């Protein structure tokens, strides 16, 4: 393999960039009260937030998969008009400030919301400030990541095999489940992991739409945010937990996201 | 007649008028150089490319006629295709590839597997059932593709350059096998090829495209 020579000045700039990311993360490791770690992790508020975070993010990742994969298939294969508009709408939450997403969810599903008022009037269902709202906010923010990853895989996959299956008598839905989906499986798995990681870190949309009620809707990121001014040491511990989970996701997905040595 | 096509086929810039029909038991060989639309004929009959004008019909059922807006989806046409590039499903075993069409037609799994085994035996691949297509030679893959088309007992069998993807040694063996299989096939066969040796080996009639 050819060794590429890199100019010293570029090396310095690269080092600054890497340090800029690494230093804050390392600082947490330095300052975490390691001696009290076990006690702090055992606190009820910590365990509640961790449980709510894991529960809501796993449900959100599963729903993102259940609905996002068919959406990705539609975006990849449909020839309907206005598809590009639909695609932009579907991935907007990726670039939208999450707090705006939260406001949007309130406007749609809040008690006076466009849909929410009928949910409340007809069925007595009030979504905001519930754990369901946490999950909805996470799906809103995370599903686009999955849709984009899976759509790309569907686009790359072999249309000819799908055609072949149809000449063998397979209906469009059988073609999807037996040919297209198995071919896209690695992307679906990566998309679920991505959606799950994104759900776990979700803060802006969920705190706006679901509030931060300890034991009910307070997830780990919300707890970290609220603890910064009250119990900084505990917020460090919770941050460490989130860093640990993020690194674990990266490690599990390293074949897909990391190239090189 | 089993299948007839009167009309214009086309793909992109390419267009060509055709008029032919094939009856049960007949093997029509359509020959011509590359670019003469041989594969387009197969794809049009299978329903993967729409007819530009005219009519494609099998028995008394119109499969494609743009002027009356009739078009039958590929999965509802009683034909089976052996594609030039075979297109075996890479994530399925040989027997699952062959059983796929039967399963798609609602045949129970056990019956689909036993019927598939029988057809695999007919093409000389009994011991290959559990293998993946990637672990087969070109000639063996060709036989799987053939078995996959025959197992659904189609009314019309479409063969697109069935011997092009194999080496010389396998080709000789397949040239012996193919007439044997086609003679016991009850439906109509359309074979497109650029190789006159294929025509001699299996065709009962031929049509040359220029």
Cα A143 versus chain centre, distance: 7
When the pLDDT of each residue in chain B is averaged and rounded to a whole number, the result is 91
C-alpha dihedral sign at B167, B172, B175, B178: negative
pLDDT band at B170 (very low <50, low <70, confident <90, very high): confident
Comparing alpha-carbon positions, the chain A residue that sits nearest to B96 is: A178
CA nearest to B45 within chain A: A167
Mean pLDDT in residue range A123-128: 92
Could B100 and A163 be called an inter-chain contact, meaning their C-beta atoms sit closer than 8 Å?
A: no
Q: Cβ of B104 and A183 within 8 Å? A: no
Q: Does residue A73 carry a pLDDT above 90?
A: yes
Q: In this prediction, what percent of chain A has a pLDDT beyond 70?
A: 96
- Whether the predicted pLDDT of A256 surpasses 70: no
Interface with chain A: mutation pick from B39, B46, B87, highest number of A CBs within 10 Å? B87
Res A175: pLDDT: 95
Chain A stretch 136-195, residues whose beta carbon is closer than 8 A to a beta carbon of chain B: 160-161, 163-171, 174, 178-179, 182-183
Contact residues, chain A, for B47 at CB < 8 Å: 166-167
Q: Which CATH superfamily is domain A43-255 in?
A: MetI-like (1.10.3720.10)
B3 touches chain A (CB under 8 A): no
Whether B13 and B28 map to the same domain: the answer is: yes
Report d(CA B195, CA B200) in Å as an integer: 9
Distance from C-alpha of A166 to C-alpha of A172, rounded to nearest angstrom? 7
pLDDT in tens, A101-112: 999 999 999 999
- Note whether B104 contacts A167, CB cutoff 8 Å: no
Is residue A220 within 8 Å of residue B129, measured between CB atoms?
no
Sheet-wide strand order for B79-82: B79-82, B156-160, B188-193, B27-31, B205-208
B20 with B55, same domain: the answer is yes
Tell me which chain B residue has its CA closest to the CA of residue A174.
B104
pLDDT value at A261 more than 80? no
- DSSP bridge pairs for B62: B57
Q: Is the pLDDT of residue B33 over 90?
A: no
Given a cut of 80, is residue B165 above it in pLDDT?
no
Say if residues B3 and B27 touch (Cβ distance below 8 Å): no
CA–CA dist A180, B35 (Å, integer): 30
Residue B1 reports pLDDT greater than 70: no
SS3 B41: helix
pLDDT greater than 90 at residue A157? no
Looking at the complex, report in whole angstroms how far the Cα of residue B79 sits from the nearest Cα belonging to chain A: 8
Provide the percentage of residues in chain A whose pLDDT is more than 90.
74
| Closest A-chain CA to B89 | A161
Residues B57 and B100 in one domain: no
Q: Answer yes or no: are the C-beta atoms of A127 and A116 closer than 8 Å.
A: yes
Q: How confident is the model at residue A257 (pLDDT cuts 50, 70, 90)?
A: low
User: Which of B132, B153, B174 is the last residue in one of the domains?
Assistant: B153
Pairing of strands B14-22, B3-11: antiparallel
Q: Can you give the pLDDT at residue A260?
A: 46
Does residue B1 share a domain with residue B58? Answer: yes
Interfacial B residues in 65-84 facing A (CB < 8 Å): 73-77, 79-81, 83
Q: How far, in whole angstroms, is CA A48 from its chain's centroid?
A: 20
Range of the domain at B113: 90-153
On whether the CB atoms of residues B191 and B27 are closer than 8 A, the answer is yes
- Any domain includes B24: yes
B165 and B203 assigned to the same domain: yes
Contacts of B85 in chain A (CB under 8 A): 160
Q: Is residue B83 part of a domain?
A: no
Residue B201 burial (C-beta neighbours within 10 Å; 0-12, 13-18, 19+): buried
Q: Locate the domains of chain A by residue range.
A: 43-255
Cβ distance B73 to A169 less than 8 Å, yes or no, reads no
- From the list A160, A161, A171, the residue facing B75 with the nearest CB is A171
Q: Do A168 and B87 touch (CB under 8 A)?
A: no
- What was the ipTM of the complex prediction? 0.92
pLDDT digits (tens, 9 = 90+) for B81-118: 999 999 999 999 999 999 999 999 999 999 999 999 99
The full DSSP string for chain B is --EEEEEEEEETTEEEEEEEEE-TT-EEEEE--TTSSHHHHHHHHHTSS--SEEEEEETTEEEEEGGGTEE--GGGSSEEEE-TT----TTS-HHHHHHHHHHHTT--HHHHHHHHHHHHHHTT-GGGTTS-GGGS-HHHHHHHHHHHHHTT--SEEEEESTTTTS-HHHHHHHHHHHHHHHHT--SEEEEEES-HHHHHHH-SEEEE--
Using the 3D structure, point to which of B108, B123, B153 is the last residue of a domain: B153
Residues B135 and B170 in one domain: no
Give the CATH number, domain containing residue B73: 3.40.50.300
Q: Are B59 and B47 in contact (CB under 8 A)?
A: no
d(CA B10, CA B50): 8
**Candidates B79, B83, B105; nearest CB to A164:** B83
**Residue of B104, B107, B150, B151 to mutate, interface with A, max A Cβ within 10 Å:** B104
All residues at 6 or more sequence positions from A255 whose CB lies less than 8 Å from its CB, including other chains: none
User: What value does the mean pLDDT of chain A take?
Assistant: 91
Instruction: Tell me: do B33 and B1 sit in the same domain.
Output: yes
Alpha carbon distance A4, A81 (integer Å): 47
What are the φ and ψ backbone dihedral angles of B166, each rounded to 5 degrees? -120, 155
Cβ–Cβ under 8 Å, residues A180 and B60: no
Instruction: Please write the tens of the pLDDT for every residue from A164-219.
Output: 999 999 999 999 999 999 999 999 998 999 899 999 999 999 999 999 999 999 99
Q: B204 and B138, same structural domain?
A: no
Q: Is the same domain home to B41 and B108?
A: no
Nearest to B199 by CA among B162, B169, B166: B162
Provide, as residue numbers in chain A, all residues whose Cβ is less than 8 Å from the Cβ of B87.
160-161, 164
SS3 A238: helix
Q: Which residue in A14, A31, A62, A52 sits closest to A228, CA to CA?
A: A31
Q: Do B87 and A182 touch (CB under 8 A)?
A: no
CB atoms B100 and A171 under 8 Å: no
Alpha carbon distance A243, A250 (integer Å)? 11
Nearest CA in chain B to A168: B101
Last residue of a domain, one of B117, B136, B153: B153
**Per-residue pLDDT tens digits for A5-22:** 889 999 999 999 999 999
Distance from CA of A39 to the nearest CA of B (A): 50
B62 plus B133 within the same structural domain: no
How close, in Å, is residue B85 to chain A by CA atoms? Answer: 10
Shared domain check, B128 and B63: no
pLDDT band, very low/low/confident/very high, at A41 (cuts 50, 70, 90): confident
Number of domain units in chain B: 2
DSSP secondary-structure letter at B70? E
Distance in angstroms (rounded) separating the CA atoms of residues B55 and B70: 9
Instruction: Collect all residues of chain B within an 8 Å Cβ-Cβ radius of residue A171.
Output: 75, 104
User: Tokens 């969810």 sit at which residue?
Assistant: A105
Within this chain, do residues B141 and B159 fall inside the same structural domain, yes or no? Answer: no
Contact A167 B47 (CB under 8 A): yes
pLDDT at A247 over 50: yes
Nearest CA-CA partner of A191 in A259, A144, A124, A233:
A144
The answer to whether position B104 is within a domain reads yes
The residues, any chain, with a CB within 8 Å of residue B146's CB and separated by 6 or more, are B82, B123, B162, B178, B181
B188: nearest Cα among B161, B159, B155: B155
């Amino acid at each position: 393999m050819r060794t590429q020579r890199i100019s010293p000045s570029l090396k310095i700039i690269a080092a600054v960039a890497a340090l800029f990311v690494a230093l804050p993360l390392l600082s947490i490791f330095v300052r975490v009260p390691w001696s009290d770690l076990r006690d702090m992790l055992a606190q009820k508020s910590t365990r509640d937030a961790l449980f709510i975070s894991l529960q809501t993010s796993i449900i959100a990742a599963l729903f993102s998969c259940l609905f996002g994969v068919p959406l990705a298939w539609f975006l990849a294969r449909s020839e309907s008009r206005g598809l590009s508009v639909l695609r932009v709408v579907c991935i907007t939450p990726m670039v939208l400030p999450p707090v705006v997403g939260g406001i949007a969810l309130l406007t749609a599903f809040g008690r006076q919301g466009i849909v929410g008022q009928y949910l409340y009037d007809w069925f007595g269902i009030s979504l905001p400030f519930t754990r369901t709202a946490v999950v909805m906010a996470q799906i809103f923010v995370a599903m686009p990541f999955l849709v984009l990853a899976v759509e790309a895989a569907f686009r790359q996959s072999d249309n000819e095999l799908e055609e072949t299956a149809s000449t063998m008598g397979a209906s469009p839905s059988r073609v999807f489940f037996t040919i297209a989906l198995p071919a896209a499986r690695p992307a679906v798995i990566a998309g679920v992991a991505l959606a799950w990681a994104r759900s776990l870190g979700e803060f802006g949309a969920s705190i706006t739409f679901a509030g931060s009620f300890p034991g009910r809707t307070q997830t780990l990121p919300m707890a970290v945010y609220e603890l910064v001014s009250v119990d900084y040491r505990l917020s460090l511990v919770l941050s460490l937990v989130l860093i640990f989970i993020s690194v674990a996701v990266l490690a599990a997905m390293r074949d897909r996201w990391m190239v090189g040595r | 007649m089993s299948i007839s096509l009167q009309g214009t086929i086309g793909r992109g810039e390419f267009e060509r008028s055709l008029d032919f029909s094939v009856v049960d038991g007949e093997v029509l060989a359509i020959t011509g150089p590359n670019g003469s639309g041989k594969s387009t004929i197969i794809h049009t009959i299978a329903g993967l490319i729409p007819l530009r004008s005219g009519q494609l019909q099998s028995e008394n059922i119109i499969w494609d006629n743009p002027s009356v807006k009739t078009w039958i989806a590929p999965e509802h046409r009683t034909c089976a295709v052996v594609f030039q590039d075979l297109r075996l499903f890479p994530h399925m075993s040989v027997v699952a590839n062959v059983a796929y069409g039967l399963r798609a037609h609602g045949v129970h799994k056990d019956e689909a597997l036993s019927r598939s085994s029988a057809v695999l035996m007919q093409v000389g691949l009994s011991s290959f059932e559990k293998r993946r297509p990637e672990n087969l030679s070109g000639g063996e893959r060709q036989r799987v593709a053939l078995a996959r088309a025959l197992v659904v007992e189609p009314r019309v069998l479409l063969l697109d350059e069935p011997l092009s993807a194999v080496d010389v040694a396998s080709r000789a063996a397949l040239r012996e096998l193919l007439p044997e299989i086609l003679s016991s096939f009850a439906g109509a066969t359309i074979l497109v090829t650029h190789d006159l040796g294929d025509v001699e080996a299996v065709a009962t009639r031929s049509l040359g495209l220029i």
